[in-house]
Amino acid sequence: VDGSDIALFVIDATQGITAQDQRLAERIDAAGCPIVIMLNKWELIEDAEERERIDLEVKRKLYFVDDAPVLKVSALTGKGVHKLRPVLQEAILQYHRRIPTRDVNRVIADAQQRQPAGGGAKVMYALQGATDPPTFTLFVNRELPHTYLRYLERSIREAFNFGSTPLKLRVRKRSD
């Protein structure tokens, strides 16, 4: 998984989400590569309530990759497989995407205006330092709470439509 541009995570829909599936999804998430979840054998799940139960199980047990696209496919019949290519192309495009510094700073400033960090902590400046995955460096005057960093990540994700693309935030404290 390390060094991969994308991970296709194929799950047997008839088995549900197993403990092994959860461990593998955690490993993919930790590697920082985009993930596309494929529920295979979907054609065997005919009952609407069972399909709904499986959808909820995916959301509940794989909550840490909840932004990942989920495709319902049948390797046997080919149903749903045609949706894979555009999803892969979009995921790879987002993984390699670069955002201009002025746009990053605008989003961070807007986020701080909507909800200040508290305790006088503030992002002074931000930039995208890398891609694969998109990595943003935040220059701060003092340490930011972890929950606030998640808020800033969510703000970046929503403003630039990163969807399920993994993002990294690096924090650099300004030296006085």
pLDDT in tens, 14-60: 999 999 999 999 999 888 888 999 999 999 999 999 999 999 999 99
Question: Is residue 1 included in any domain, yes or no?
Answer: no
Whether residue 116 is found in the same domain as residue 139? yes
* Domain harbouring 55, CATH code: 3.40.50.300
Q: What's the rounded Cα separation, in Å, for the pair 101 and 50?
A: 47
- By C-alpha distance, which of 15, 11, 78 is closest to 43? 78
Q: Which domain holds residue 58?
A: 7-95
Classify burial at 149, counting beta carbons within 10 Å of its beta carbon; exposed 0-12, middle 13-18, buried 19 or more: middle
Is there a domain that residue 2 lies in? Answer: no
Of 32, 62, 95, the position where a domain reaches its end is: 95
Strand spans (E) along 25-65 = 35-40
User: Does 119 have pLDDT greater than 90?
Assistant: no
Same structural domain for residues 88 and 166? no
Whether residue 73 sits in one domain with residue 153: no
Query: For the segment 161-175, what is each residue's pLDDT rounded down to a tens digit?
Result: 998 888 999 999 976
Tens of pLDDT, residue by residue over 85-95, are 999 999 889 99
Q: How confident is the model at residue 118 (pLDDT cuts 50, 70, 90)?
A: confident
What's the rounded Cα separation, in Å, for the pair 91 and 162? 9
Count of structural domains, the chain: 2
Task: CATH number of the domain at 121, please.
Answer: 3.30.300.20
**How many percent of the chain have pLDDT more than 70?**
99
